[in-house]
A = this chain, B = another copy of it.
Amino acid sequence: MSVSAQKIHSLQPPLFTDFKASFPYQGDNLYALIFERNRDKIRLSKEKFAIKNLQKIFSATFQMTPKIGFQAMSLRDLSTETGLSMGGLYSSISSKEAIAIMIKDVVALVCAELVEDSREFDDPLQALQSLMRGYLYASTIMQPWFYFLYFETKSLPSADQEGSLKIELIQVKELETLIGKLIKDTDHCDDACHKAEFVATMALSLIQERYLKPWKYRNPEETIDAYADKCLQLIYRAICLDEAQPCHQKLEK
């Protein structure tokens, strides 16, 4: 993430509007990044053309795939939907499979950075907020990407399939570590049913719920802050941290 974003982070985890304002993986930025990271597999040499085509290709993919699945989407479908010819498609991608792999790489990159950002906070409560909010906000902004990776992991070559599962594993382990620290802090509550592992699992499930079921959340960007608050409150309650406040304004020392 950008330096300016980190400065905000060093105070407290940002809410959605601030997060989005400094989130770099959007618009042309994002496609420029994809182009740079896949130069070897893309026949186009001019960034300008690559961005334009990649934008079309991914948009069309995200439009068609949720309805019929990636495997059922033919490159002919993609051709008509993007307005590009078959040859045009293959100038921007090396194969159909490559589309899915690029999506996996982008999501992996974003997720790794969310963990990194949360580790800037020494206070586990703030770190947990950073990770939860970051994950929720990023997966709201990039909903089609996260959704695609979850449902189409099967369409990846097996090596990439493992990589995809690992992304989730890293997130849940990080959540578990942070929640574990908070449980030790309170120490008066050691029911087996509120172990860090289970609460972390629940937390991740709630995040995924959001981006996996877009038909349930009509104005995701407007309601995501409230949702994040609810998730955090639920976590606090699960581990007997009733005094903690979910609203980040109230966290200022």
- Chain A interfacial positions (CB closer than 8 Å to B): 66-69, 71-72, 151-152, 154-155, 158, 165, 191-194, 198, 201-202, 205-206, 208-209, 215, 226, 229-230, 233-234, 237-238, 246
Contact partner of A234 (CB less than 8 A), chosen from B66, B154, B202, is: B202
**Given contact pairs A69-B71, A155-B72, A205 touches B215 in the complex (Cβ within 8 A):** no
Contact partner of A202 (CB less than 8 A), chosen from B158, B193, B202, is: B202
Contact partner of A154 (CB less than 8 A), chosen from B72, B198, B229, is: B72
The residues of B that contact A209 with a CB separation of less than 8 Å are: 201-202, 205
> A228 to B186, alpha carbons, bound, how many Å?
25
The residues of B that contact A158 with a CB separation of less than 8 Å are: 67
> A157 to B207, alpha carbons, bound, how many Å?
29
Contact A191 B69, beta carbon cutoff 8 Å: no
> A172 to B84, alpha carbons, bound, how many Å?
42
> A123 to B193, alpha carbons, bound, how many Å?
24
> A47 to B13, alpha carbons, bound, how many Å?
62
In the complex this chain forms, how many copies of it are found?
A: 2
> A201 to B209, alpha carbons, bound, how many Å?
8
Q: Which of A69, A215, A229 has the most CB of B within 10 A?
A: A69
The residues of B that contact A155 with a CB separation of less than 8 Å are: 69, 72
Contact A68 B194, beta carbon cutoff 8 Å: no
Contact A229 B67, beta carbon cutoff 8 Å: no
The residues of B that contact A233 with a CB separation of less than 8 Å are: 191, 193-194
> A66 to B233, alpha carbons, bound, how many Å?
35
> A11 to B158, alpha carbons, bound, how many Å?
49
Q: Which of A67, A155, A234 has the most CB of B within 10 A?
A: A234
Query: Could you give 21 example pairs across A and B, Cβ below 8 Å?
Result: A66-B154, A67-B154, A69-B69, A69-B71, A69-B155, A71-B71, A71-B72, A72-B154, A72-B155, A151-B151, A191-B233, A192-B230, A193-B246, A194-B234, A198-B234, A202-B206, A202-B209, A205-B206, A205-B208, A205-B209, A234-B238
A136 to chain B, nearest CB (A): 14
Q: Which residue of B lies closest to A215 (CB)?
A: B165
> A137 to B127, alpha carbons, bound, how many Å?
36
A97 to chain B, nearest CB (A): 11
> A37 to B212, alpha carbons, bound, how many Å?
32
A205 to chain B, nearest CB (A): 4
